[in-house]
Amino acid sequence: MPDNTHDRRHFLSAAAMTIAGAQLAMIGSADAQAGQSATTAKRGSNTSFAPLKQIDAGLLNIGYAEAGPAAGPPVILLHGWPYDIHSFVEVAPLLAAHGYRVIVPYLRGYGTTRFLSTKTFRNAQQSAVGLDIIALMDALKIQKATIAGFDWGGRTADVMAVLWPERCKAIVSVSGYLISSPAGNQTPLPPAAASAFWYQYYFATELGKAGYAKYLDEFNKFIWHQASPKWTFDDATYNRTAASFNNPDHVDIVMHDYRWRLGLADGERQYDALEKRLAALPVVTVPAITMEGDSNGAIHAPSTGYRNKFAGRYDYRLITGGVGHNLPQEAPQAFADAIVAVDGYSNT
């Protein structure tokens, strides 16, 4: 078994260097980089989904969009914070045109997804969110699917691939390997990297929780600009997503996610065995493609920092042209192409 403490320190060091470089890039012109250009991405006028569906799954009643033929190979697309299903509003029809059955759920704390019981702890630890998607697959009678996401969604794809590889045909994960643990996150970061995590430290306080609740829209729009400094989204684009933050559990879920990561909030004991497995930072064995935008303003490691975490058939794609953190919405064609490609890996 590898020395995971060493792995974690190497990852954090690499991430710190990436952030420092990203901050310099944000104040100057971007150099041309090798990779797939976002300018080749097919951008349409699609701004909405068909009427949403709701289904009881595990602890939740999950709201989700669906596109494509019901008998098509299933693909599940997972968003992050502070985003929602509209990150995939142009990806879904591209995949549907390829014959895929596309499922795009609101994560717990977003949109029309609700807890079935008022007594359920509003928990956002990584294993719990992964189990939500397994429960959704069970409810929809999907035995195996390609899982693709970014931010919390990318982390969930990684989690599912290592805990339940039999349910994952393949994965696409923006920013690579995102599994961590509260213990692993205790390594201090250099100042440049720590500054990029300012919101996590803010959320660690009750003042931060109150501030997030009071200035929800301003806060999340600020994060959009920080994470995607070259993405020129309009108010209508932001507002379509911002509606999903009006979920009654949203603030509690966001606070728990970031506090749990830093070891400032407890998880639930029923997930301890799963978290112990994840804390060992196991390798992903299913076919995988990891992706990165060349202008991602959120903290992220270079692809070399996590390459050894993918043991199956694998590819890395750098998407150029000023693409930031919300890669599926900023470069929908490139994201859809990665899903089609990784599905092909699993068929060979």
pLDDT of residue 346: 75
Residues 6+ apart with CB under 8 A from 161: 147, 168, 171, 284, 285, 286, 288
What dihedral do alpha carbons 318, 97, 146, 107 form, nearest 10°?
Answer: 90
Q: Which pLDDT does position 347 carry in this prediction?
A: 77
Residue 16 has pLDDT above 90, yes or no: no
H or E element at residue 60: strand 60-67
For residues 344-348, average pLDDT: 80
Mean pLDDT in residue range 93-107: 98
SS3 assignment, position 317 = strand
For residues 335-342, give the mean pLDDT: 98
pTM, two decimal places: 0.90
288-293 and 168-174 beta bridge pairing: parallel
Enumerate residues 6+ apart whose C-beta is below 8 A from 29.
Answer: none
Query: Three-state DSSP class for 223?
Result: helix
Q: What's the rounded mean pLDDT across residues 26-38? A: 42
Reported as a pLDDT band with limits 50, 70 and 90, residue 19 is: very low
CA pseudo-torsion sign 124, 327, 172, 2:
negative
- Rounded Cα distance between 307 and 176, Å, is 8
Q: Which residue has the higher pLDDT, 125 or 29?
A: 125
Q: Are 59 and 135 in contact (CB under 8 A)?
A: yes
Section 15-28 average pLDDT? 39
Per-residue pLDDT at 281 exceeds 80: yes
pLDDT at 26 over 80: no
Burial group, residue 300, by CB count within 10 angstroms (0-12, 13-18, 19+): buried
pLDDT of 145 over the 50 cut:
yes
User: What pLDDT shows up at residue 192?
Assistant: 87
Q: What is the overall mean pLDDT for the chain?
A: 90
Task: Evaluate if residue 29 carries a pLDDT over 90.
Answer: no
CA 165 to the chain's CA centroid: 18
Q: How many angstroms separate the CA atoms of 113 and 58, rounded?
A: 12
Structure tokens at 107: 């994560």
At 253-273, the pLDDT tens digits run 999 999 999 999 999 999 999
What per-residue confidence (pLDDT) applies to 40? 44
Q: Name the band, by pLDDT with cuts 50, 70 and 90, for residue 18.
A: very low
pLDDT of 301 > 80? The answer is yes
**What is the pLDDT averaged over residues 265-284?**
98
